[in-house]
Amino acid sequence: MQSIWRETSDFRERPALSGDITAPVAIIGGGLAGILTACLLRQKGIESVVLEANRIGSGQTQNTTAKITSQHNLIYTKLFQNFSEEEAKQYASANQQAIGRYRQMITQEQIDCQFEERPAYLYSVDREDIPALEMEVEYACRAGIHAELTKKTTLPFEIAAAIQFGGQAQFHPLKFLQAISEPLTVYEKTKVLSVEGKSVVTDRGTVTAEHIVFASHFPFVNAPGYYFMRMYQERSYALALQNAVKLDGMYLGIGEKGLSMRNYGDTLLLGGGDHRTGENKAGGKYDMLREVAALFYPQSKELAHWSAQDCMTLDSVPYIGQFSSSTPNWYVATGFGKWGMTSSMVSAILLSDQIAGDENPFAPVFSPSRFTPGASAKNFLSGMGQAVKGLAKQTFSLPDADAAEPQTLPDGHGGMVIADGKKAGAYKEEQGDVTAVSIKCPHLGCQLEWNPDEKSWDCPCHGSRFDAKGGLLEGPAQTDLEEIPT
């Protein structure tokens, strides 16, 4: 199902690229980060072309909860533990500046996108979390942000404590994107196949550019940069509820069972159910949210449901800057975690400055070439273990015994089977037709897992996703799955 943002917006279609062209800057990805970067470059007098494989805003931008905030879970505690105090202040200042830049653009351009200033709350229902919240308040204040502990919220349940950040905001991301993209040169339905030096090769022609920006969520180029070794992906789920409650701000609960809540007009957005991509074999994430809605908002009505995917870095800070030391004219914006709105603006500010040759004081903390062993080592080993497990399952494991033949699958379900003598993934439609595909991810070969909530094949190693019939949904993989005869 489409998100509430896609349901309530309408973009005009843009043409596909039709042959070879040259441009000062080529931006890969027509989501918020890519379009904002093009917009800020234009303000500096630098023209660019944006290459989008599908439609503007059709990736993660349309699936966000659209909170514009510098409160990013317990981030300031992590920053002071793993970065210098100066770098922690850079992170805080960059995100606060991003909120201000949104406010300025929306006010000056009179963009109708339901921009509202709201406090952001980070809460817990567990008293054992109070020391962690107190520590986060201390570090946020040291980083230059006004934060305070409170027990007063408009949540429908009792909490142990919450942190309040003032001066934060929320908006309609696609209405904002629609407005700022109007004067820009964007080519839709133009898939980038490869990048070499100053050449961006697409299925519609080649763009030659002095500067190339990778703003495509997860970089599809494995080397240089090796971002697939430095990130993993997570999924989360959301409901749009009518006849719920009007909250005084934006909320996020810490811990595995924490919920995300914010209003869009009279609609409540309820989110949660986070998990590493490829690790949702049991499903039930939407059902869990529906149970929460029935408990706290029994009169509510579900208007829409959808899910999102986020790139998570090893040290919880995005990679924004030069793609690698060997590619000085390439730039990247990725690893936004759950905070794509603020991070997209931070990316646009930083990258437009770097391309224009302007120094930016916040660049060091986001540098893709940074080295933070204290924060990264554990997550790196965990990620490598996940990749090894995914590869080993593909090579050595057998399918579940109860799904050995495709026709044994229940109607409307997917799972591992034996098809044409091979281990495969199969989906049986409601009317009984079966489609079998290879469950070897075309990115780096990990075994895909079935996600019953989304009816998709998901990669637990790097987060590539495919629909029930093997069509590519999101990268870093670039091709569909091979179909296998049944």
What residues does each domain of the chain span? 4-64+174-229+316-371, 396-484
Task: Judge whether 56 and 239 are in contact, CB under 8 Å.
Answer: no
Q: What whole-number percentage of the chain has pLDDT above 90?
A: 83
Q: How far is CA 188 from the centre of its chain?
A: 20
Q: How confident is the model over 6-10, as a mean pLDDT?
A: 93
Closest CA relative to residue 379, chosen from 427, 422, 315: 315
pLDDT computed for residue 383 by the predictor: 54
Distance in angstroms (rounded) separating the CA atoms of residues 482 and 460: 19
Instruction: Flag whether pLDDT at 391 surpasses 60.
Output: no
Which tens digits make up the pLDDT trace of 197-252?
Answer: 999 999 999 999 999 999 999 999 999 999 999 999 999 999 999 999 899 999 99
At residue 382 the predicted structure's pLDDT band, cuts being 50, 70 and 90, is low
pLDDT computed for residue 255 by the predictor: 84
User: Which of 82-86, 368-372, 379-383, 435-439 is predicted with the least confidence, judged by mean pLDDT?
Assistant: 379-383
pLDDT computed for residue 246 by the predictor: 92
Q: How confident is the model over 346-368, as a mean pLDDT?
A: 97
Distance in angstroms (rounded) separating the CA atoms of residues 162 and 210: 48
Which amino acid type is present at position 376?
Answer: S
DSSP assigned state of 24: E
Query: Which tokens belong to 1?
Result: 């199902």
At residue 486 the predicted structure's pLDDT band, cuts being 50, 70 and 90, is confident
Q: CA torsion sign, 291 to 296 to 301 to 305?
A: negative
Task: Judge whether 360 and 48 are in contact, CB under 8 Å.
Answer: no
- Sorted by sequence, the CB contacts under 8 Å of residue 359 that are 6+ apart come out as 353
Helix (H) or strand (E) holding 340: helix 340-356
Closest CA relative to residue 190, chosen from 9, 6, 22, 30: 30
Instruction: Flag whether pLDDT at 395 surpasses 70.
Output: no
User: Which of 16-30, 370-384, 398-412, 442-456 is predicted with the least confidence, judged by mean pLDDT?
Assistant: 370-384
Distance in angstroms (rounded) separating the CA atoms of residues 131 and 151: 14
pLDDT computed for residue 399 by the predictor: 47
β-strand pairing of 465-467 with 456-458: antiparallel
Q: How far is CA 372 from the centre of its chain?
A: 22
Query: How many separate helices (H) and strands (E) can be counted in the chain?
Result: 10, 25
pLDDT computed for residue 373 by the predictor: 67
Average pLDDT, the chain: 92
Pick 422 or 62 by higher pLDDT: 62
Task: Judge whether 484 and 419 are in contact, CB under 8 Å.
Answer: yes
Instruction: Say what the pTM is.
Output: 0.91
pLDDT computed for residue 161 by the predictor: 97
At residue 374 the predicted structure's pLDDT band, cuts being 50, 70 and 90, is low
Which tens digits make up the pLDDT trace of 397-445?
Answer: 544 444 457 777 888 888 888 887 778 988 988 888 888 899 999 999 9
- The residue to which tokens 């898939």 are assigned: 191
* Domain 396-484 belongs in CATH node 3.40.50.20: no
Task: Judge whether 170 and 67 are in contact, CB under 8 Å.
Answer: yes
Which amino acid type is present at position 451?
Answer: N
Which tens digits make up the pLDDT trace of 96-128?
Answer: 999 999 999 999 999 999 999 999 999 999 999
Helix (H, G, I), strand (E, B) or coil at 273: strand
pLDDT computed for residue 148 by the predictor: 97
Distance in angstroms (rounded) separating the CA atoms of residues 443 and 464: 8
pLDDT computed for residue 401 by the predictor: 43
At residue 484 the predicted structure's pLDDT band, cuts being 50, 70 and 90, is confident
pLDDT computed for residue 41 by the predictor: 98
Pick the CATH number of 4-64+174-229+316-371 from 2.30.30.40, 3.50.50.60, 3.40.190.10, 1.10.1740.10: 3.50.50.60
pLDDT computed for residue 433 by the predictor: 85
Beta strands in 314-371 (DSSP E): 319-324, 327-334
Neighbour-count burial for 128-147, b at 16+ CB within 10 Å, e otherwise = ebeebbeebbebbeebebeb
